[in-house]
Amino acid sequence: MPFNLLMKRKIFRVIQDICDEYEEKFKEKVATASVVNVLLAEALAHRGLIPKDYIKSQYGCDNPIEQGFTPNARKEKPQHVLEQEQKTLMEKDKMFKLVLEQWELHPALEWRLKWIKEAEKWKDKLPHAKELCDLADKEVVSNE
């Protein structure tokens, strides 16, 4: 059953009232979309469609409307995201290790340049990427 115009106005008024109360309590504005996101997440968590700790993982507290939206809560990544990023980094480092092992088997300049370029992007984060960059630098020096 679709919402009629009167119901939509009532819902928007409730959301606007929450925003006004938040502004009065914390002396700062809150985006309507942020309030709607929290309300929607609460409803989805209540129905079991998303994890109960979703709001805390996203906003840094159980009830950001009552406790305040922390400015850096959105910058902190949930644990599963951090684990996935770590796994990706480990896989990329393993790839650079394999490139190092095959370096002498591939004398083609195009192949080596491709990997050097990629290693340059990752040399500050991955030890094997740094090692590949160092190896490439040594080869340039020895060829000069």
The residue with greater pLDDT, 72 or 107, is 107
Within a domain: 73: no
Residues 14 and 59 placed together within one structural domain of the fold: yes
Which residues neighbour 57 within 8 Å (Cβ) at sequence distance 6 or greater? 51, 78, 79
Pick the last residue of a domain from 22, 39, 67. Answer: 67
pLDDT (0 to 100) of residue 76: 60
Domain count, the chain: 2
Residues 29 and 84 placed together within one structural domain of the fold: no
Residues 129 and 88 placed together within one structural domain of the fold: yes
Within a domain: 86: yes
Within a domain: 72: no
The pLDDT of residue 111 is above 70: yes
pTM: 0.48
The pLDDT of residue 144 is above 50: no
Cα end-to-end distance, the chain, whole Å: 77
Pick the last residue of a domain from 67, 97, 116. Answer: 67
Residues 61 and 19 placed together within one structural domain of the fold: yes
The pLDDT of residue 142 is above 60: no
Tokens found for residue 107: 């004398």
pLDDT (0 to 100) of residue 93: 95
Within a domain: 135: yes
Within a domain: 138: yes
Q: Domain residues for 105?
A: 79-143
Pick the last residue of a domain from 47, 67, 87. Answer: 67
Which residues neighbour 112 within 8 Å (Cβ) at sequence distance 6 or greater? 103, 106, 136
The pLDDT of residue 72 is above 80: no
Within a domain: 21: yes
